[in-house]
Amino acid sequence: MLNKMKSLIAQLLAANEAYYGKDDPIMTDLEYDRLYSELEQMEQESGVVLASSPTQKVAGEVLDSLTSVTHTKPMLSADKTKSSAEIFKFIGGRKMVISWKLDGLTLVLRYENGKLTQAITRGDGLKGEDVTHTVRVMGNVPLTIPCTEPLEVRGEGVVSWQNFNALNEALAEPYSHPRNLAAGSIRKLDAKESKKRRLEFLAFDLISEDLGGTTKWENLRFLAQMGFTTVGYSVLAADAPLDALEQAIALYRPEEYAFPVDGLIFEYDDLAYGRSLGATGHHENRLMALKWADTLYNTVFRSLEVATTRTGMVSLTGVFDDVEIDGTIVNHAYLHNLDIFKRLALGPGDKISVYKANMIIPQIAENHTKSGGCPIPNVCPCCGSLLMIHTSTGGTQQLHCEDTTCPARLVRKFVHFCSKTRMEIEGLAEQTLETFVQRGWVKNFGDLYELERHKDDIVACPGFGEKSFARLQSAINKRRTCTLNQFIAAVGIPEVGRHAGRILNRHFDGDWNAFEQAIQEGYDFTQLQDFGKVMHDNIYAWYNNAEEAKLWRPALNHITFLKEEITMSENLNNNPFAGKTVVATGKLENYTRDGIQVKLLSLGAKPASSVSKKTDYLIVGEKAGSKLDKAKSLGVKVLTEEEFEYMLALSK
């Protein structure tokens, strides 16, 4: 038995190091809980508890790259159970406070004279890491509070589900869970980068005694008065029967809470009584966590979906027969890394058990037959290149496509092409495009106009259906016609954007063939207004790049170019801007960036993008920046938007 215990401890410690120290889990929560319960039971039966046992120590470690700080009070864990009957026994007829068990990174915030002085991670419970620089940029953390006495508050650094889903689309390596995103963001050395992750702090414990009252709910109310966002909670009356407890538990539905959670916390409302119970080396006796029992559902594994992300990492997703879990149909589960895929030994027809981790994220718990019928993918599903195996800092393995020209790694170019200020194809957001590219349905811009070939597969994708596909097709069909300037801005020629596109559109009268012929004949684009040598060279480099041509040229088979009609204002001879070179900068109140360009063209003006001696007017909005300074130094006439409109009114 002792050897078995040592083996379990080694596995759990390795999982703790990966989870807390490197934010790179090597096993699922369900696997961890099972091993932990098995070890705990063996310790109770044998009476032997080793010093290294995770049941006696709080998991985590201090990273060398951040300053170590000693906690004023050890940060212990909470004893855990999955039984409401055991919680009822723990309550013992006393008044309790029930709150969410948040799933992020636990933090301690210290205040002196009403000002935030330090923020510390949980670390190993005795020492943590100083992360004051990143906590200061969390939007809801009070930098000052109406309390001059020393104050310490504990809480959780978390990312809401809404922000997680939005942010994950833009990250180089998508995170599998908001917990990992929160932990990685808080530990960043660059506070500016951390701020982009939209973390929030939810307070759940007041460490400073004699400040908030004698009860837990008074403490939470006090923290709210100090300006903190507190964890969601409720109060369970003393002597509440078991059915009342179960009804209270049923009201907490994790899928309805804005933040990731992995259970509930039950704490005695009477603070003095709770403190009198003391603590073990692992947990405080004043509270207990209820973790939801993971109900397993049997189903049949069918296939493996392989998709290449924009970073080159290849994701693996298991597909299985429909299972209804908590009122929703589940048939896909993401396999976080190659190690998990190997361990499950999946194959078509295998009998598997699935569950929703924390009642939210579908996971494959076990493979009962382990046929191994699905080999490790060896080629990229998008470009066909041989895949390589990379090992992360946490020791887990991932498949990668190393072909830098792989369309899956060019998702940003597809996003640029479809964006509102370019081809403006509604319904093709980055997440949708990434899915289409990963599955190999879209390899060039022309494929966007041939999605009908993949209709059945697209309709079967989560979040899609017949109606959404019909809306997407309608949006695409509307963009089978465009102006030359829209297309030029969309294909992503470096330094040649919307303004340059309009200049080219005017010069070549909206004719793509004329533009292409000019390139083939060696036309000197520096002759055009606002065109320099860099832009000239970029056009030729783009046009002559064979790989780039594979991306944009197929779209020409689906597009008809229209001439952009610009209604010219009457009395051009009377308006003061006809024939003048005008630059607009900053945020204008009544015009978008494109809108002011069209307006100037209708006035017979020559819109320009940079200020020079040839500039006649500079129209400025908010945050005008360096162009305003340059205009002043050159003596260029500067107009506010109001002055611009006034001059137009006088000319009518």
Residues 6 or more apart whose CB falls under 8 angstroms from that of 173 comprise 311, 313
Among 421, 468, 341, 392, which residue's Cα sits nearest to residue 184? Answer: 392
Place of tokens 């999982």: 15
CA dist 127 to 15, 24, 35, 72, 275, Å? 20, 21, 26, 9, 22
Residues 6 or more apart whose CB falls under 8 angstroms from that of 11 comprise 27, 35
d(CA 61, CA 139): 27
310 lies in the same domain as 392: yes
Please report, for the domain that includes residue 646, its CATH number: 3.40.50.10190
Q: Which residue range forms the structural domain that includes residue 432?
A: 407-479
Which residue pairs, CB below 8 angstroms and at least 24 apart, start in 113-116?
113/148, 114/144, 114/145, 114/146, 114/147, 114/148, 115/143, 115/144, 116/141, 116/142, 116/143, 116/144
Residue 576: inside a domain: no
145 lies in the same domain as 25: no
Q: Mean pLDDT per 10-residue run, the chain (652 residues)?
A: 76 74 68 82 72 62 66 85 91 95 92 91 86 87 88 94 77 69 82 82 90 90 90 93 92 88 93 90 88 86 86 87 84 89 94 82 90 93 90 79 79 84 85 84 92 89 83 89 90 83 87 93 87 87 90 92 63 73 84 76 78 87 79 87 80 66
Residue-level pLDDT at 652: 63
Please report, for the domain that includes residue 304, its CATH number: 2.40.50.140
Residue 566 corresponds to which tokens in the numbers above? 């610009």
Residue-level pLDDT at 63: 44
Instruction: Determine how β-strand 261-268 pairs with β-strand 229-230.
Output: unpaired
Residue 568: inside a domain: no
539 lies in the same domain as 644: no
Give the model confidence (pLDDT) of 49-74 as tens digits: 665 677 765 544 444 567 888 888 88
413 lies in the same domain as 394: no
Residue 56: inside a domain: no
89 lies in the same domain as 232: yes
Residue-level pLDDT at 581: 87
Residue-level pLDDT at 497: 81
Total number of domains constituting the chain: 6
Please report, for the domain that includes residue 504, its CATH number: 1.10.150.20
Residue-level pLDDT at 346: 95
Instruction: Determine how β-strand 233-236 pairs with β-strand 96-102.
Output: antiparallel
373 lies in the same domain as 451: no
Contact present, 188 and 134 (Cβ < 8 Å): yes
d(CA 153, CA 156): 10
164 lies in the same domain as 266: yes
Residue 575: inside a domain: no
Give the model confidence (pLDDT) of 86-126 as tens digits: 999 999 999 999 999 998 999 999 999 988 999 999 888 88
Taking phi over 0 as left and psi of -120 to 50 as alpha, with beta for the rest, 643 belongs to alpha
Residues paired with residue 581 on neighbouring β-strands, in sequence order: 606
Give the model confidence (pLDDT) of 261-309 as tens digits: 989 999 999 999 999 998 887 788 999 999 877 788 999 999 999 988 7
Residues paired with residue 356 on neighbouring β-strands, in sequence order: 362
Residue-level pLDDT at 383: 85
Please report, for the domain that includes residue 83, its CATH number: 3.30.470.30
Whole-model pTM over 0.75: no
The amino acid at residue 241 is P
195 lies in the same domain as 335: no
Tell me, yes or no, if 613 is annotated catalytic: no
Among 345, 344, 317, which residue's Cα sits nearest to residue 331? Answer: 317
400 membership: H or E segment, kind and range:
strand 397-401
Count of all residues that appear for the chain in the document: 652
Residue 210 corresponds to which tokens in the numbers above? 């004699």
What torsion do the CA atoms of 635, 640, 644, 646 make, to the nearest 10 degrees? Answer: -120
593 membership: H or E segment, kind and range:
helix 593-602
Residue-level pLDDT at 61: 45
497 lies in the same domain as 557: yes
Residue 333: inside a domain: yes
Residues 6 or more apart whose CB falls under 8 angstroms from that of 225 comprise 146
93 lies in the same domain as 236: yes
d(CA 10, CA 12): 6
Residues 6 or more apart whose CB falls under 8 angstroms from that of 414 comprise 428, 433, 437, 442, 445, 448
Residue 392: inside a domain: yes
253 lies in the same domain as 367: no
Please report, for the domain that includes residue 20, its CATH number: 1.10.287.610
d(CA 587, CA 624): 7
Among 317, 458, 432, which residue's Cα sits nearest to residue 377? Answer: 317
Provide the 8-state DSSP code for 21. Answer: I
Task: Tell me the CA end-to-end span of the chain in Å, nearest whole number.
Answer: 96
What torsion do the CA atoms of 584, 588, 590, 592 make, to the nearest 10 degrees? Answer: 70
Domain boundary among the residues 236, 266, 290 is at 290
469 lies in the same domain as 493: no
Among 22, 57, 80, 101, the active-site one is 101
